[in-house]
Amino acid sequence: MRKIITFLDFLNESKKSAGKKVLFISFTDETRGVSYHDYLKSKLNADFCIWQDLVFDGDEIKFDDKPLRDYGFIFIGVVSKYPDYFVSVEEYIKVNKIPSFKYGCSPERNNKIYQNRILSTNNLSPVPAIISKCSEVNTDDLVKELGLPVVAKITDGSQGKGVTLQKTKTSLENYLKKNSKETIIFQKFIENEGDYRLFFINGKLLYTIERKSSDKKKEFRNNYSLGGSVKRVDLPKEAIDLARKASNKMGFDVSGVDLIKSPEGEWFILEINSAPQFGTKNGKEVVVDYKMVLDYFIDLIKEKL
């Protein structure tokens, strides 16, 4: 017999859902006119903690003397500095079947060496690269494989830091000698007018931005953090499909996929970020309002509560 849902049943279910709390672990409270935490609290019944607030008691994990399994949803923020905490919480969430979302991932999966391997193995058009300790390669081999100039990147850099352009064989040779003990990513340089970052959440494309260097003669990197400009754009289906496939293969809940287009019209993947910065400004102009992204997260959480 089909159960008849009364108005009282509806109210009881609504109260039950409203009573479920959300725990945000290591979710940064950045202020851009309004606190992230305050905004989320205005929409959700939420608690916030940092990794060190968690207590590991046998097979139980607690925050403020409350078991994490009592929460209706757990949102995990920045992971990189606390991988030991993260792997334990990730396993706990799985065992207790708690709905969750991870903004970022453990370091063993969030590194450029592993990423390049996944993209190459699945024919997902990474920029041609050689990753090696400098003492194990020579200038002639790199130039033969990648041409000149060559982009040299440290393996754990971000925001364009640790990225250089070696324009001649002499400068490349000196670079290898100077960094002989370091493992470096050497990439083919793709002539470009700018590059693109596509933001995905659970495989859904939220938006795309184009990043351009303010002066290509002085700065080959397009990073906004290095003075480049940024604007919202739309890309062709070919580029979006490539970025989405790469994001799905990496298995991140959220990702910022960086693409670049060669003068010949070929799309390449530069890298994939598991914890991209969403809210974006170009000077005083707001290119992407972070509230739009938070609202998407809020809707996602409410669907699971």
Backbone dihedral angles phi then psi of residue 179, each to the nearest 5 degrees: -115, 35
User: Same structural domain for residues 140 and 174?
Assistant: yes
Q: What is the DSSP letter of 214?
A: S
Domain presence at residue 145: yes
Residue 196 one-letter amino acid: Y
Domain presence at residue 123: no
CATH code for position 165: 3.30.1490.20
Domain presence at residue 49: yes
Among 140, 159, 188, where does a domain finish?
188
User: Same structural domain for residues 244 and 214?
Assistant: yes
User: Same structural domain for residues 201 and 181?
Assistant: no
| pLDDT for residue 26 | 92
The structural domain count of the chain equals 3
User: Same structural domain for residues 155 and 229?
Assistant: no
Q: What 3-state DSSP class applies to 174?
A: helix
Instruction: Round to whole Å and give the CA distance between 137 and 144.
Output: 12
Helices (H), 49-150: 83-96, 112-121, 139-146
Instruction: Round to whole Å and give the CA distance between 285 and 281.
Output: 6
Provide the CB-side half-sphere exposure for 191 (13 A, CA): 5
Q: pLDDT (tens digit, 0 to 9) for every residue of the chain, 305 residues total?
A: 444 545 444 444 444 444 689 999 998 776 455 588 999 999 999 999 999 999 999 999 999 999 999 999 999 998 878 889 999 999 999 999 999 999 888 777 778 889 999 999 999 999 999 999 999 999 999 999 999 999 998 887 665 567 899 999 999 999 999 999 999 999 999 988 889 999 999 999 999 999 887 766 655 666 655 556 788 899 999 999 999 999 999 999 999 999 999 999 999 999 999 888 776 666 656 567 778 888 999 999 999 99
Domain presence at residue 204: yes
| pLDDT for residue 262 | 94
Backbone dihedral angles phi then psi of residue 244, each to the nearest 5 degrees: -65, -45
Domain presence at residue 116: no
User: Same structural domain for residues 67 and 20?
Assistant: yes
Q: What 3-state DSSP class applies to 240?
A: helix
Instruction: Round to whole Å and give the CA distance between 266 and 262.
Output: 5
User: Same structural domain for residues 12 and 103?
Assistant: yes
Residue 26 one-letter amino acid: S
Domain presence at residue 1: no
In terms of residue numbers, what domain contains 64? Answer: 7-108+296-304
User: Same structural domain for residues 75 and 135?
Assistant: no
User: Same structural domain for residues 135 and 209?
Assistant: no
CATH code for position 39: 3.40.50
Domain presence at residue 214: yes
Instruction: Round to whole Å and give the CA distance between 225 and 205.
Output: 23
pTM, to two decimals: 0.83
| pLDDT for residue 87 | 92
CATH code for position 210: 3.30.470.20
User: Same structural domain for residues 204 and 168?
Assistant: no
Domain presence at residue 117: no
User: Same structural domain for residues 179 and 199?
Assistant: no
